[in-house]
Structures are given as C-alpha cells and as structure tokens.
Amino acid sequence: MNTEIKFPMSQAVRNAYAEGQEDETLLPLVLANHQNEPLGRIHPGDSVIFYNIRGEREIELTRSFTEKTFREFPVHQTLNVNFATMIEYQKGLNVEVAFPPRGVLWDTLGDIIAAHGLVQAKITEAEKAVHVSFFFNGRKSDLLPNEERIVIPTRKDVRLFDEAPEMSIEEITRATLAKIKDPSCNFTVVNFPNVDVVGHVENEPAVIRAIQAVDQHAGILIDAALKEKLTVIVTADHGTVEKWLYPDGGVDTGHTDSPVPFILLHPNATLTLKPKGELTDIAPTILDIIGLPIPTSMTGASLIEQNKNSFAPVQRLLLMILDGWGLCESTKGNLIACAETPVMDRLMKNYPSSRLDASGVAVGLPPQTVGNSEAGHLHIGAGRRIYSDRLNIDQSIANRDFYRNQVFTDIMSLTKQNGSALHMMGIVSFFSSHGSIDHLFALMHMAKQQGIPRLFIHGMLGRRGEQAESGARYIQQVERKCLSLQLGQVVSVIGRYWSMDREDNWDRIEKTYRMLVYGEGNTISAE
C-alpha cells in the first residue's frame, strides 16, 4: 500500500519554478479531480473570508465579488457570496469587517498645517498615492483645507517596474518644481517610490538605476528649493535595498529593519540634530521649524537640539521622502552603497542628520518586524505611535478573542445553515505586510471548532521579504495544516501580481476572479 503523503499544490508550485516562473507572477494553478474538473470553486451562496490586512491592494478583487454594479469585466451575475474581510479595505464596500478601523487620527501634521491656514501639496505617482494622502493624513481620504494632491500616473507600458526603473520620476520632479516656484505653497511633500518599488524585483542593475535616478532628482529639487529659500528635509519611510542579501547569500527583495536618514537643510546653519530618533519625531520637528504648536497627542519629539525660540520660523518647507532608502553600515549586499549617489553622500557629510527607527514597535508593528510604507507614512504624519492591525490581530489570537469574533462566527454559522462552502483567500506568507499565515491558521482552527464541513483555501504568493521559492514551502505548510485538522484543501494558488493590484489593471484581477469562480488556470491533479 502506498502511504506516501502527497502535497499536490506545493509540488505544482515547485514545478512552476522549474519552468522559470516565480512567486510574484505565478500563473494560476487550480486543483482538479481525475476528470480534470476544477475543485473548490466559489459558487452562489458560498462564504468568503479575505484575510489580508493593509487593504489598498485588496479593494479591486473585493469589489469584483461584492459590487452589484461592477462593470470592469464580466462577472457571475448571481454569485451572491457572503463576503467578510479581516480589516476595512475601503469605506462603502459591501462586506462584513472583522476588525473595523479604530477611527481616523486628528491633530496630524497635515491637520495642524491646514488649521493655521497654510497651503500644502502632496506629490507622488499612483503607486504611492494612498501613502502620501490617506496614511500620511491619519487615514483620512478627503482633502484638507488648502491641500492639493498631485498624482502622476504610473506607467502602463511595462510589465514589471525593473523594465523602467526611473518610473515616472521626471514627471514627479516637474510637478514638484512647479510647487517650489509657487510662493503660495507653504508645505510640499514629495515621494520618490523607485527604490522601494523596483527593489521588490530581483534585478540588481535595475535597482542600481532606480537608486541613482532618485539621487539625481533629489539633487534637482534641492537645488531649486534652496534657490527659492525653502527649508528642505530629506528622509525615508523604511529600508529596502541596503540589505539586499540574506546571510546565506540569497537575494532579499523585501523591506528591512534598518533605520532611515533624516537630513535638515535649514537657513540657520548652527542648528544641530539629535543623533537618533524615530519616524514619529518628524512631524514635531517640522512644526518646530514652521513655528506652529505641537499638539499634546503627538508623543514624538522634535529632533532639533536647540530651543525653538532660538531660531526664526520658516515660511516654506519641502519634505522629500525617498521611499525605501535605508541606512546600513555594512557594504556587503548594500545596493545603495554600490550605487553612485553623490547628492546623498554630500548631504550626509555636510548637513545635520539623524538616524530614525522605522520598523518594529517604533512604527506600531510587532517587535523585530520590518517596516513598510503604510506604517512609515502614517507615523511620519501622525507624530505618535499607532498600533497596527497586524499587532492587534496577533494579540487577539493570543488572548483568544479572535475565536469569538462576531463577524467570523456569523459567517461560519451562515455557511453551515446554508449547507455551503467556506473559502479563505489571501497572501500566504509570514513576512508580508499584507497578511500572515498565522492569521490563516487561526481561521482554519476556528472553522474546525465551528464544525465547517467544506473549507477551500486560495493562496496568493509574493516574494517580498521572502527567500527564493518560499511560496512552495508556505503552501506545503498550509497543506500539512489541512491534513492535521482533517479539514480543508488548498485548491488554487496564484501570484499576487494578478490578485493584489491598486492601479486599475483589471485584466490582472479578472485572471484571479476567473480562477476562483470558473477554475481557469493550469489544472493540477488531486489524485
């Protein structure tokens, strides 16, 4: 008798690696029976739990299942699934939310600037628009008084960003130069996304080009700003490519736990900065420089060592966020050190600077976890620590409140009542800021406790922060969990490139939808 345990979906992922595919762009894999009929499809009346967190890359797929007037691509008109999400991805979605938002933040940097009648502008390209608006402003979507948001379209003529590492940096620079030359604009925030975005692709020459493009364009903006007598701050939200290698030499395309720079170009050359701080200190520092009061809700502290009464407030300030630009003393595997960065080298040598913590508890994340753009921009703007959804969910699992969550118990009860299936879909990872395999496992244990008869799991893979070919290992962990619980099957796997989009690339989302509903993809035998 053959007692060998088979894990068909993880083996299928490994086979895809052998054919040259990788986790991020993995084409859909669908489990099928001996008649090649797809198993575990989402049928009318079924229930779905989308267990991802963060949210901005989850909106499009959620809409395709829940929006009655959805028109972006053809969908099943009578699917009518019961849909729950781990957190709120967007207000107004027709879903139940297990961990609703704790409300917007007030007295953020943007709020204080607006309350004093100053004009502010936020500039980036679409890939980072949500970060310099929604998160920077304390989870508020609406424009503040006298606020302008300039979003440069992200290029659609490339498949992955390493094909054009400069992205839309020239257009971002042009838009920012216009604001620098506009005397009515008091506060300008510009985000260069290149280092972070391109750094998630395993292409070292492309990453070097991205770093050098950011350095060059930062220099263009700084020269223009100083000419117009603006004060300039250069910083970042988290690290990425300054730790490009794992200890074993493998490439790490994820975020890091490195500190980030904070460089001040101020007309008062005698000002000095504290050598260390964290992202929460940026907002109080800017308010100090502009001469506005720091609200008591901001627990961060100004990085300027001198008393604010010892220097005159400035009228205009440019905040440059070099997304993903971390600091690392070691040159081994440090692509920033490998690149030619004359502008940043000069700034670090000739101007006051600090090293800011941008990961772990400093940005409301679990200890020893890497930073991310959501937490980074939120803390830059808030000036206080905000505990993340991930940390709250982790704590809820630890104290077992998770297993009594009303949204989860209701959807599982409805599943049993209807005699339907329960589907769980989301990122299969531990390190991703979009979700945790531990959250999936907690839901699987809960489904077992609740007596769910049919459970199907749809995994999304992405190598950001993971070692090469980690997706297959994660999928096998889920398959083993199904075996140990005697419940559930991994019935589909796809790269996050196709399922977690935020740029209206509806052809990608349609591929995921058709996999989930119709079983379209490379069929894998369950036998």
User: What are the distances in angstroms from CA 58 to CA 200, 323, 500?
Assistant: 18, 21, 6
Task: Work out the average pLDDT over 408-426.
Answer: 97
Any domain includes 83: yes
For the chain, give the number of residues: 527
Say whether both 155 and 57 belong to one domain.
Answer: no
* Residue that terminates a domain, selected from 364, 385, 406: 385
Q: What is the CATH number of the domain that holds 94?
A: 3.40.1450
Any domain includes 2: no
Share of the chain above pLDDT 90, in %: 87
Say whether both 448 and 432 belong to one domain.
Answer: yes
Task: Work out the average pLDDT over 417-421.
Answer: 96
Domain of 433, in residue numbers: 8-100+391-525
Is 82 in contact with 46 (CB distance < 8 Å)? yes
Say whether both 242 and 316 belong to one domain.
Answer: yes
Any domain includes 90: yes
Any domain includes 3: no
User: What are the distances in angstroms from CA 422 to CA 47, 50, 118, 397, 465?
Assistant: 5, 11, 51, 20, 29
Any domain includes 439: yes
Residue 148 has pLDDT above 80, yes or no: yes
Give residue 398's pLDDT band: very low, low, confident or very high (50, 70, 90). very high
Any domain includes 223: yes
Say whether both 130 and 79 belong to one domain.
Answer: no
Is 41 in contact with 415 (CB distance < 8 Å)? no
Q: List the one residue out of 364, 367, 355, 299 whose CA is nearest residue 329.
A: 355
* Residue that terminates a domain, selected from 324, 357, 385: 385
pLDDT for residue 4: 60
Any domain includes 62: yes
* Residue that terminates a domain, selected from 334, 357, 385: 385
Residues 6+ apart with CB under 8 A from 432: 462, 464, 465, 466
Give residue 23's pLDDT band: very low, low, confident or very high (50, 70, 90). very high
pLDDT for residue 308: 85
Say whether both 238 and 344 belong to one domain.
Answer: yes
Residue 464 has pLDDT above 70, yes or no: no
**Number of domains within the chain:** 2
pLDDT digits (tens, 9 = 90+) for 28-67: 999 999 999 999 999 999 999 999 998 889 999 999 999 9
Question: What is the dihedral angle through the alpha carbons of 178, 118, 135, 180, rounded to the nearest 10 degrees?
Answer: 20
Give residue 1's pLDDT band: very low, low, confident or very high (50, 70, 90). very low
Q: What values do phi and psi take at 380, rounded to 5? A: -60, -45
**Which two structure tokens, joined as six digits, stand for 145?**
């008084």
Say whether both 369 and 474 belong to one domain.
Answer: no
Give the predicted TM-score (pTM) of the model.
Answer: 0.76
Q: What is the CATH number of the domain that holds 234?
A: 3.40.720.10
Distance CA(499)–CA(511), nearest Å, equals 8
Say whether both 161 and 137 belong to one domain.
Answer: yes
Distance CA(135)–CA(141), nearest Å, equals 9
Give residue 158's pLDDT band: very low, low, confident or very high (50, 70, 90). confident
Say whether both 376 and 400 belong to one domain.
Answer: no
Say whether both 376 and 405 belong to one domain.
Answer: no
Looking at every residue in the chain, the average pLDDT score rounds to: 95
Residue 102 has pLDDT above 90, yes or no: no
* Cα 486 from chain centre: 34
Give residue 457's pLDDT band: very low, low, confident or very high (50, 70, 90). very high
Give residue 378's pLDDT band: very low, low, confident or very high (50, 70, 90). very high
Say whether both 121 and 41 belong to one domain.
Answer: no
Give residue 2's pLDDT band: very low, low, confident or very high (50, 70, 90). very low
Rounded to 5°, angle at Cα 94 from 93 and 97: 80
DSSP 3-state of 121: strand
Q: Which long-range contacts (CB under 8 A, 24 or more apart) does 346-350 make?
A: 347/222, 347/234, 347/263, 347/265, 348/261, 348/263
Say whether both 324 and 302 belong to one domain.
Answer: yes
Say whether both 398 and 361 belong to one domain.
Answer: no
Residue 249 has pLDDT above 90, yes or no: no
Paired strand residues for 198: none
